[in-house]
Amino acid sequence: MSAPLDDLVVVDLTRALAGPHATMMLADLGARVIKVESPTGDDTRGWGPPFLDEDGARESTYFLSANRNKESIALDLRSEEGRDILRKLVQRADVLAENFRTGVLDRLGFSLAELHDINPRLIVLSITGFGHDGPEGGRSGYDQIAQGEAGLMSLTGPSADEPTKVGVPIADLLAGMNGAFGLLAALHERERTGRGRVVRTSLLASVVGIHGFQGTRATIAGEVPRAIGNQHPSIAPYGLFRTADAPVQIAVGSEGLWTSFAPLVGLDAADPRFARNGNRVERREELRDLIEMAFSNSSSEAVLEALERAGIPAGKVRTLDDVYAWDQTRSQGLVIEVDHPVFGTLELPGPVLRFDDNAYAGGRKDHTAPPMLDQHRRQLLDWLEDQETSA
């Protein structure tokens, strides 16, 4: 079976994480993604430890997380030779992705107008830290800075006094996902118009875009949401609860679930203190203490079994080694094997999409390892020459 995007060519000028994550999503769906790197390579090749080191080659596990299914060519875009090769790539591309600071591409001779002169059908994805315009549009963006500036850290952590970042670079990852989503919309539009356009997103936009109900608490209710640890601000009981040996997560998201849950912890579902969700939210701490007291002599496994029998959504808190060993994770194609030219067989976290006409992960049957720097120069230059010959 062909992959959904196997007729697309993507020129990937991005580095670090937001842009590479976007282009990796396209590559997972079958697109040919040509990663154009500086002669020293993507910065993330040096972001470690941990590193893989073998036969004089070294690669960071950070780089390996965001660059599967791509080809690499190293170009010095300050040189005429490098710019000439990039022009040829742009001529044959459907998509160009970049996450330079505003103005950098213009100074290299590849403004948006010039890119569309080279290829009027080109879709350009531009990812910035805080937006391409506005009073702070020129700011460089790093994930944790964006998490703080966009309010996410004020909502995360044990209390309002301890703002805490999310444990993964969520602003970068969301910007990549939003960028891929926008690109696909622009590609669909191009089927009607025959012309490309520019798709823009930012780390700021991507974090503000997931404020969800916390955002409307601020804009409509006039409240300023703050971190409250592992409890839900609008639903109770919903969160992390201690047992005799390990915490469990419980989500009592409806009055029907409350009716089933209350007897498990020795409470009357009609108790006026807790009869409705609003009552339970107001008395969240009191309710949590009663629940944890009821669980204090039971193991987490026993609690989870009782909750499952009662139909209450619940779960454990797994470490990542446990997640990747879990048979449910593997059954969904979320761990894949690739053959690296230096490091041999590697296991990587896999694509998040599956299609009904195949059982393998993502849109392609075979996945390739993240490339070594400049690994595909010769075959890419040969391909460009063949394209020129046949044009």
Which residues does the annotation mark as catalytic? 172
What per-residue string of b and e applies to 308-339 under the rule 16 or more CB within 10 Å gives b? eeeebebeeeeeeeeeeeeeebeeebbbbebe
Q: How far apart are CA 207 and CA 200, in angstroms?
A: 14
Cis peptide before 263 (omega within 30 of 0): no
Cβ atoms of residues 58 and 51 within 8 Å: yes
Q: How far apart are CA 295 and CA 238, in angstroms?
A: 15
Cβ atoms of residues 345 and 337 within 8 Å: yes
Nearest in space to 72 (alpha carbons), one of 59, 91, 56, 55: 59
How crowded is residue 51: how many other Cβ atoms within 10 Å of its Cβ? 17
Q: How far apart are CA 11 and CA 70, in angstroms?
A: 10
Taking each helix axis from N to C terminus, what angle separates 377-390 and 80-91, rounded to the nearest 10 degrees?
A: 60
Cβ atoms of residues 371 and 344 within 8 Å: no
Longest CA pairwise span in the chain (Å): 81
